[in-house]
Amino acid sequence: MSVLLLLEQTLNGLQLGVTLFLIAAGMTLVLGIMNLVNLAHGSLYMLGAFFAASFTQWTGSFALGVVFALAATALVGLVVEQVVMRRLYARDHLDQVLATFGLILFFNELTKIVWGPIALFVDVPAVLSGRVELVPGAPYPVYRLVVLAAGLCVAISLWWLITRTRLGMLIRAGASNREMVGALGVDIDRLYMLVFALGAALAGFAGALAGPLYVVEIGMGDAILIKTFVVIVIGGIGSIRGAFVAALIVGMVDTFGRVVPQAIGLPAAVAEMAIYIVMAGVLFFRPTGLFAARG
């Protein structure tokens, strides 16, 4: 493998990693604080991509499309939390899995009704459509660098929110002992609502940024949901820091897992197994993940 190819794949792995982090951050908070298994989180990622595609077409601005998509997905998250999720907090995980799987089917059919069954294609904004040479002879797409930078900015903002604000203090306390937080007079329903809306907005933001890189199609959130669960398991349930580190690990392993086996003549199936092998290795030594927020 050449040095230039190594650099390109490293950047691709980091870009995939920050995209996974945007999805996993909200999901790990929902699972860590609410003890809620939400299989429909990938559907919010899908809705973010469709919203961004539509708003970009209507406004003629990709930036406005992303902003409106983020707000629309957060609003959908609020509605879902109020109508469905509140009835699941006290139920066991099997009920949550069945109900949120039903939401996946609902959102897939609703998306087909609203946008039709044909996939959408989002063009990279003209100002971001070029390439930049980070090193001579290795041009890299500007848009992918923007996605990487946006993910890092969100990660820093989430770190500040979680560690430096009162809301973050309540989120950390809820991840550690939500019963005690409720006993101290905190409005748990409002906290749950805010956390779920934040998670939905992050998933929608990831979907909006992914639109120009992938095909915007029905069910696009289902495949990435599996990798998101791997990130959460490796990083530790309820840990933003763990989600960030694990997302970068999964992004790098998944990217190089598709390149290295081909370069040395191993079967292509190794690429599909790589992230699960890493997950098994982490769980063998640290069953609660790298940075578990609670046991």
Q: Is residue 139 part of a domain?
A: yes
286 in the Ramachandran plot: left (φ > 0), alpha (ψ -120 to 50) or beta?
beta
Q: What is the pLDDT of residues 210-252, one digit of tens each?
A: 999 888 999 888 888 989 999 999 998 878 888 999 999 999 9
Task: Provide the residue type at 30 as one letter.
Answer: V
Q: What is the pLDDT of residues 122-154, one digit of tens each?
A: 888 888 888 888 777 778 889 999 999 999 999
Average pLDDT over residues 185-202: 86
Q: In which band, very low, low, confident or very high, does the pLDDT at 288 lie, cut at 50, 70 and 90? A: confident
d(CA 88, CA 157): 30
The number of folded domains in the chain is 1
Q: Is residue 61 part of a domain?
A: yes
Tell me the whole-structure pTM to 2 decimals.
0.90
Residue ranges of E strands in the chain:
131-135, 138-141
The tokens for 161 are: 């929110």
Please, which residues have CB within 8 angstroms of residue 198's CB and are 6 or more apart in sequence?
A: 26, 29, 74
User: Domain range spanning residue 122?
Assistant: 7-285
Q: Is residue 42 part of a domain?
A: yes
Average pLDDT over residues 37-63: 92
Provide the mean pLDDT of the chain: 86
Q: Is residue 291 part of a domain?
A: no
CATH of the domain at 41: 1.10.3470
Residue 116 phi/psi, 5-degree rounding, is 90, 170
The residue among 55, 56, 26 whose CA lies nearest residue 42 is 26
